[in-house]
Structure 1
């Protein structure tokens, strides 16, 4: 059975911010509330994130730790990030060192933290994606980073507003 979701309350807006830390996106999704179901909320979130600007990408990056590092703070975004990265599996010294070095190269090249949907990926898959994306030009990588944000936001909306939230 579907339940109506209020995404406009202060608590819900905090959860929206944890899903995707972009003020315009939070305002747009909250303004469409109430939602007839979780799927309708996720669809609205995806529509609101369809045309993220470069400035919004920069705004969101501040809410994401480097892959392989712990998020600062104690909020919902930090807890979600920790859970997503915990799903990468056991530490592997060689892969972890390669990811750390790749993070440095990525940040030097693109000027922001490497964003990737960690959920459902192994450490090796993250490293492979990082190495592949380092070959992107600026425009292609910006588009990929925005797509990763959309994927992360959809998963987080499900976690934050789903039946088990």
Structure 2
């Protein structure tokens, strides 16, 4: 979808286009309500600002849509296809790294009660494992800040791909 198409779309169509990027209603409504955008850069800046900060409930809702890192997203929704593509870009896993990520996922979920979320695009599995291990040392409060940042990065990257920026 080009920026002109996004600007001209009806409210429901524009919201539906944004939902796979980040399924948080407040974020979607803020972006849709800010149209028209003069440039892709202004749209992306607006999207980043709209995602600052997320409430705990918004983070919880967004995490419900994300698979564990290293696992294939279920289904054939637009969001699942994006997640599958992002994780596929990691390449074939080294069995030892895959096992370490799986163990780290379990430890993370035990400590924080939610899935480990990280922007996979542009990272190797080894980088993800290192970040996972480092984040296990966070307090829950510190980790919520990092999760918010990761959600913003994922949303803006997906939106960038959506509008072909």
Match of 1:52 in 2: 54
Match of 1:107 in 2: 109
| Per-residue deviation, 1:30 | 0.9
For the 8 Å contact 1:8–1:34, the answer to whether it is kept is no
Gaps of 5+ in 2: none
TM-score (norm 1): 0.92
- 1:96-125: CA deviations, max 9, x gaps? 011011111101110111000000000000
CA distance in 1, matches of 2:11, 2:164: 16
Q: How does 1:36-115 map to 2 (within 5 A)?
A: 36-115=38-117
- 1:24-66: CA deviations, max 9, x gaps? 1111111111212211111111010011111110011011111
Task: State the superposition RMSD in angstroms.
Answer: 1.5
Q: How does 1:143-158 map to 2 (within 5 A)?
A: 143-158=145-160
CA distance in 2, matches of 1:3, 1:27: 17
| Per-residue deviation, 1:12 | 2.5
For the 8 Å contact 1:8–1:31, the answer to whether it is kept is no
User: Does 2:150 match 1:123?
Assistant: no
Gaps of 5+ in 1: none
- The count of corresponding residues between Structure 1 and Structure 2 is 162
